[in-house]
Amino acid sequence: MNSRKKIGVLSLQGAFAEHIASLQKLGVEALAIRLPQDLEGLDGLIIPGGESTVISQLMLSYGLMEVIRELAQDGSPIFGTCAGMILLAKSALDLDIETIGAMDIKVRRNAFGRQVDSFETVLSVPVLGEAPFPAVFIRAPIIVEIDSGVEILASLPDGTPVAARQGNLLVSAFHPELTSDLRFHAYFLDIVSRRAYSQRKN
Ligand code: GLN
């Protein structure tokens, strides 16, 4: 039987409500995560955009940092958007906070500067099919270094990587939850389903 998937959305600060709405449109159970016990029985987790410094501090105060780090180490699917990407990165330039540090990328925060701190564009994301993806960037980070195990899923026209995957970890510098295009969330759910399948086989 195909049981309904349960996806958590870290709901301490930032654009969590929009992720919950996107997941609900895709027919999965979306749960707001605020405490370590909320993580039990999840099939996947989304870390939203917001302010990475604030989210990091709240994760530490609520005892979520270490448990989420363990989930990532155990291969749980985690999708980080914007500040969520910063929090998943192994290292971030100019950032004096603790991160989950699960993905072998280095990021730079607020990489577009004050002049263009928000913009919208369309990106080619081959894993999502041919139609370009509408990408909303808000005080966005970029990826400045990646290790060999990381697959770049989308780049800006100048070659700057802005979405990537490493195993069951997925990140985007932009905000798919702020558009009506659900393909990024559907791609994440596909990672979740494949993991559930391989766990059943083992
Ligand atoms: N600039 C924010 C940070 O550094 C990220 C912005 C966002 O998530 N939209 O955390």
Amino acid, res. 106: K
Instruction: Give me the DSSP letters along 169-183.
Output: EEEESS-GGGSS--H
Separation in Å, CA 4 to CA 7, 37, 43, 53, 148 = 10, 20, 10, 33, 34
pLDDT for 1 equals 42
Q: If you count them, how many residues does the chain have?
A: 202
- Catalytic, 177? Answer yes
Q: Which of 18, 19, 82, 185 is catalytic?
A: 82
Confidence of residue 163 (pLDDT cuts 50, 70, 90): very high
On the question of pLDDT at 66 being above 90, the answer is yes
- Catalytic, 19? Answer no
Rounded to the nearest angstrom, the distance between the alpha carbon of 116 and the centre of ligand 1 is 14
Mean pLDDT of 96-118: 90
On the question of pLDDT at 116 being above 80, the answer is no
Confidence of residue 115 (pLDDT cuts 50, 70, 90): low
Rounded to the nearest angstrom, the distance between the alpha carbon of 82 and the centre of ligand 1 is 6
| pLDDT tens-place string over residues 14-38 | 999 999 999 999 999 999 999 999 9
Mean of all residue pLDDT scores within the chain: 95
- Catalytic, 82? Answer yes
Amino acid, res. 121: T
Kindly state the DSSP code that residue 43 receives in the 8-state scheme: S
Nearest ligand 1 atom to alpha carbon 86: 10
pLDDT for 202 equals 64
| pLDDT tens-place string over residues 168-200 | 999 999 999 999 999 999 999 999 999 977 777
All structural domains of the chain, each given as residue ranges with its CATH number in brackets, are 2-201 (3.40.50.880)
| Cα–Cα distance for residue pair 85/136, rounded to 1 Å | 14
Pairing state of beta strands 142-146 and 151-155? unpaired
On the question of pLDDT at 2 being above 60, the answer is no
pLDDT for 114 equals 72
Nearest ligand 1 atom to alpha carbon 138: 9
Nearest ligand 1 atom to alpha carbon 51: 10
Please choose from 139, 172, 179 the residue to mutate so as to test ligand 1's pocket, defined by most ligand atoms within 8 A of CB.
139
